[in-house]
Amino acid sequence: MTRTSRGKGRIVLDRVASALWYVPGSFALARLLGPRYPLRCVLFHDIADRESAFTNGLGVTITRRAFEAALKFLTRYYTPVSLQDVIAGTDGRGLPARPVLVTFDDAYASVGEFGAALCFQYGVPAVFFVNGACLDNRQLALDNLICYVANIRGLGAVKSAAIAAVGRDDFELCSLKQVFSRLLPTMSLSAKAAFRRALTAATKRDERDLAAEAGLHISTQQLCSLKTFNIEIGNHTYSHTHCRSLSLGDFAHEVDRNKAILETISGSRVRSFSVPYGSSADLTAELTTHLHQTGHEVIFLAESSAGSFRSCASILDRTSINTGADAALFSKVEVLPRLRTIRKGLGFVSGGGRHEKKSKVISECPVSERTFSDEVADSDEVHI
């Protein structure tokens, strides 16, 4: 099947799944697709009425109105639970009927500015996964810097920076999606640092000034206040990096350091980890072991399947949400995850298993030869 026909198939499937919302007994119908769905986990990123040059193209933005509509949908048809509830009821039997856990990734300031307060208003606890490097807008996340350069200077400037970083030009970059799904996953930390420097040079700006001007990320002061809104802080690596290319030594820099920083600021224990970009291909056996040994009790992915409690109760999957429409939410939360789980069960998804380290780092493997998860390739969204 070609990618174009897969894309059309997804659109049709999504429309059919959304149409189910208008059929009487829609939740019962969804259960026919797969009754076992012990915990829905949903994922938000930035809440803003307009995308900026730093976010346009990432697919991470939901408007305030849509976000509030999504909260209304979740509180009307589900029972919001906290991470503590999930940990206490790890096999699903201890949770209330139709539980849902709300999460946020990527340290966006909008969560501190009004997302957390709105969650609190609707009685929704949440987990907020933060990258320490972005706190107080000291640095832009690499994803936002790439996005900015693509929007301001064009994709060609992004490719030029990539060539300068890896020292080769034998790869194609025709879209932002290719940057995130093909280029970044296999870059080493040092290659990413070189990429960042080259991208910053393309902006002709000081990166710190650019980060301050963008004001995308949460401050330490805002982070401290989140506890009062029943928002728990989680680890999302220090620099928001793909974990498949991390060595054991890198874990101290990206995982342990970030946990320590967040615990110092928040005064609370960090006990959960969200895998940047959400792919199970990044959750290697080494990383899983390290996370469990360092006090991370729950690990989150974002592959939008219904198998919330995967092979073990400490690894949960999430569905990314960027809509407030009831039918679309029903499709995204209730129907499509079940269909993906069925598809995975039938073996149609060959994406990297979490105990496989599939890809070599970029310095060892030409871009054209690299594989990437079908789960990512099948999606129109850039999962951040």
Q: Which residues bind Zn ion (CB under 5 A)?
A: 105-106, 276, 384
Contact (CB, 8 A) for 300 and 237? no
Work out how close the CB of 276 gets to Zn ion at its nearest, in angstroms, rounded to a whole number: 5
Contact (CB, 8 A) for 278 and 272? no
Work out how close the CB of 243 gets to Zn ion at its nearest, in angstroms, rounded to a whole number: 11
Residue 126 Cα to chain centre, angstroms: 15
- Whats the size of the chain, residue-wise? 384
The rounded distance, in Å, linking the Cα atoms of 1 and 348 is 12
Residues 105, 155, 243: CA angle, nearest 5 degrees: 35
Kindly give, in sequence order, each residue whose CB lies less than 8 Å from that of residue 102, ignoring residues fewer than 6 positions away: 42, 44, 71, 74, 80, 119, 124, 125, 126, 127
Work out how close the CB of 251 gets to Zn ion at its nearest, in angstroms, rounded to a whole number: 17
> Toward Zn ion, which CB reaches closer, 105 or 375?
105
Please count the CA atoms within 13 angstroms of the CA of 153 that sit on its side-chain side.
Answer: 19
Work out how close the CB of 250 gets to Zn ion at its nearest, in angstroms, rounded to a whole number: 17
Cα separation values, 249 from 64, 189, 240, 255, 286, Å: 40, 11, 16, 10, 11
Kindly give, in sequence order, each residue whose CB lies less than 8 Å from that of residue 325, ignoring residues fewer than 6 positions away: 66, 69
> Toward Zn ion, which CB reaches closer, 235 or 331?
235
Work out how close the CB of 46 gets to Zn ion at its nearest, in angstroms, rounded to a whole number: 11
In three-state secondary structure terms, 101 is: strand
> Toward Zn ion, which CB reaches closer, 141 or 202?
141
> Toward Zn ion, which CB reaches closer, 194 or 302?
302
Give the number of other CB atoms < 10 A from CB of residue 355. Answer: 12
Q: For residue 326, what is the enclosing H or E element?
A: helix 326-330
Is residue 199 classed exposed, middle or buried when 0-12, 13-18 and 19+ CB atoms within 10 A define those classes? buried
Kindly give, in sequence order, each residue whose CB lies less than 8 Å from that of residue 11, ignoring residues fewer than 6 positions away: none
> Toward Zn ion, which CB reaches closer, 188 or 235?
235
Work out how close the CB of 299 gets to Zn ion at its nearest, in angstroms, rounded to a whole number: 14
Kindly give, in sequence order, each residue whose CB lies less than 8 Å from that of residue 76, ignoring residues fewer than 6 positions away: none
The rounded distance, in Å, linking the Cα atoms of 188 and 362 is 6
> Toward Zn ion, which CB reaches closer, 142 or 329?
142
> Toward Zn ion, which CB reaches closer, 279 or 323?
279
One-letter-per-residue 3-state SS of 160-195: HHHHHHHCCCCCCCCCHHHHHHHHHHHCCHHHHHHH
Kindly give, in sequence order, each residue whose CB lies less than 8 Å from that of residue 229, ignoring residues fewer than 6 positions away: 116, 117, 119, 120
Work out how close the CB of 300 gets to Zn ion at its nearest, in angstroms, rounded to a whole number: 10
Work out how close the CB of 30 gets to Zn ion at its nearest, in angstroms, rounded to a whole number: 28
Work out how close the CB of 103 gets to Zn ion at its nearest, in angstroms, rounded to a whole number: 10
Which residue number places its CB atom closest to Zn ion?
A: 105
Work out how close the CB of 240 gets to Zn ion at its nearest, in angstroms, rounded to a whole number: 6
